[in-house]
Copies of this chain bind each other. A is one copy, B any other.
Amino acid sequence: MRPETRSRLLTACQEIVGADAVISSPDELRVYECDALTTEHRAMPDLVVLPTSTAQVAALVRLSAAEGVPIVPRGAGTGLSGGAIPVDGGVLIVLTRMTRVLDVDLANRTATVEAGCINLAITRAAARRGFFYAPDPASQQASTIGGNVAENAGGPHCLKYGATTNHVLALTVVLPDGTVTRFGDRIADRPGYDLRGVFIGSEGTLGICTEVTVRLLPEPEAVRTLLVAFRSMEAASRAVSAIIAKGIVPVALEMIDQETTRALEAYANAGYPTDAEAVLLVELTGLRAEVAAEGPIVEAICREHDCLLLKAAEDEAERMLLWKGRKSAAGAFGRMTRNYYHQDAVVPRTKLAAVLTEIAEIGRQFGVRVPNVFHAGDGNIHPLLCFDARLPGEYERAMAAGDEIMRCCIRAGGTVSGEHGIGIEKREYLRLMYSEQDLAAMRRVQRVLDPAGLCNPRKIFPEEAVA
């Protein structure tokens, strides 16, 4: 960016949001170089602005459009695919000061919040009256609902409930030209094109959402949480398929491999067995009678698949401890390896066993450890590629193994992202999944809303295809 452009932008941004809401010194800007993708990926924004209203966001977008400068929206920066990295510089619009809960409407079971509101804060605002917001990404204590919308975030409990797109009813959006519009509706489906669905998961490339209306669900009457250990990943995978085939949809159906259970036990001491190759965490929720009926069926299926251990949480404290263990996986990773690359892919549930075997083989071939803790119920795997960036060649080997794993998942009929998004991380894989016609249809939608290509540029689509 030319210095005079930057200086003009700085003054204009300060006029819009106030001087204390604009960051322009290199030291402070550096905080915003990365998101939660590996630190090898970084880029400096020219300016960072922290607006507090939709009107301010709209004014910032109009200003940037007039100057021909890229804009990149950012929430808490917990994204794992590089979506918040300003690869072409420009103005980073950070929504973390827009955290208000605007409305909780229990008669219609909705909550409307500003886009910078933390995921868990929505549930906190509704919990006293017995309601919750279902999608629960691992980052839910930190990530913003706006970021969840951008990435169509999932989470362990999305097996039963569906991901972000199934729970967001309406959005206030600042389009790339600075107009403020509204997608979806609080009450009912609206006529016309469902642009709500296109916007969710569009990773900031179609505009910036500033307010989000979500569906609230009543807390289930009963919950039953089972910890089940298996001899092999294959046996556990078959049990997963058998449970779903029975017509039972647990609210969560998580699989954890032995390397991970060992690390997370050392870290969290949550009661996970460390002598089994695979552990399943199964949670059932619903009416008391429903859970009472489903529990024994799930237990019988696990026994038919020769489980080594099966125990149910006796009370809420034990249940919370089991979930603490599962949610400690990310913390435990730091003990398992100096650096890691956290992958995200989906495979058909029926191919889980075969794909897991192939991933283990790829790990051996490249000399890379690949522990895996993942949402087995919907086939959403998260191989963790371990490496030590200080040792020459380790990073490259891990990336090469990761590439093989992605290709393996696509060959199995899967997809390259279950919940982390594409960002800059996986753009090239889209060529393996989509024809040129498919990509062209999407790019045309992008261009019509963002003809100048200034809204979070160079995200999602393969590099030359964007040009």
Contacts and interface: CB of A to CB of B under 8 A. Distances in A.
Given A108-B350, A180-B437, A218-B247, A445 B185 contact: no
A445 B421 CA distance: 23
Given A289-B289, A289-B292, A290-B287, A414 B187 contact: yes
Given A193-B442, A290-B293, A445-B448, A415 B179 contact: no
Interface in A410-427: 413-418, 421-422, 426
Interface string A316-352: 0000000000000000000000000000001111100
Contacts of A346: 187-189
Contacts of A186: 413
Contacts of A453: none
Interface in A203-253: 206, 218, 221, 241, 245, 247
A46 interface: no
Contacts of A438: 181-182, 192
Looking at A347, A438, A446, the one whose CB has the most chain B CB atoms below 10 A away is A438
A156 interface: no
Interface in A107-134: 107-108
Q: How large is the interface on A (under 10, 10 to 19, 20 to 34, 35 or more residues)?
A: 35 or more
Contact of A107 (B175, B245, B380, B415): B245
Interface in A263-293: 286-290, 292-293
Contacts of A25: none
Given A181-B437, A286-B290, A290-B287, A416 B108 contact: no
Contact of A442 (B192, B294, B441, B461): B192
Nearest to A460: B192
A449 interface: yes
A165 B108 CA distance: 21
B289 A181 contact: no
Looking at A187, A290, A426, A437, the one whose CB has the most chain B CB atoms below 10 A away is A187
Contact of A194 (B200, B348, B433, B434): B200
A108 B347 CA distance: 11
A76 to B, nearest CB: 22
B198 A460 contact: no
A89 interface: no
Interface in A164-205: 165, 175, 179-182, 185-198, 200-202
B245 A437 contact: no
A194 B197 contact: yes
B437 A188 contact: no
Contacts of A197: 194, 196-198
A191 B437 contact: no
A365 interface: no
A140 to B, nearest CB: 19
A370 interface: no
B187 A198 contact: no
Contact of A415 (B191, B196, B422): B191
Contacts of A414: 187-188
Nearest to A220: B247
A447 to B, nearest CB: 7
B437 A179 contact: yes
Contacts of A163: 189
B435 A181 contact: yes
Nearest to A350: B107
A452 interface: no
Given A435-B181, A438-B182, A198 B191 contact: no
Interface string A291-302: 011100000000
Looking at A181, A286, A293, A441, the one whose CB has the most chain B CB atoms below 10 A away is A441
A198 B194 contact: yes
Given A189-B346, A197-B198, 4 more contacts: A165-B189, A175-B437, A192-B442, A445-B448
13 contacts: A107-B245, A152-B189, A175-B437, A175-B441, A188-B346, A188-B418, A189-B201, A189-B346, A190-B415, A193-B445, A194-B197, A195-B442, A447-B448
| Interchain residue pairs A-B with the least CB separation, the first 9 | A197-B197, A289-B289, A448-B448, A188-B346, A218-B247, A289-B293, A290-B290, A194-B197, A191-B422
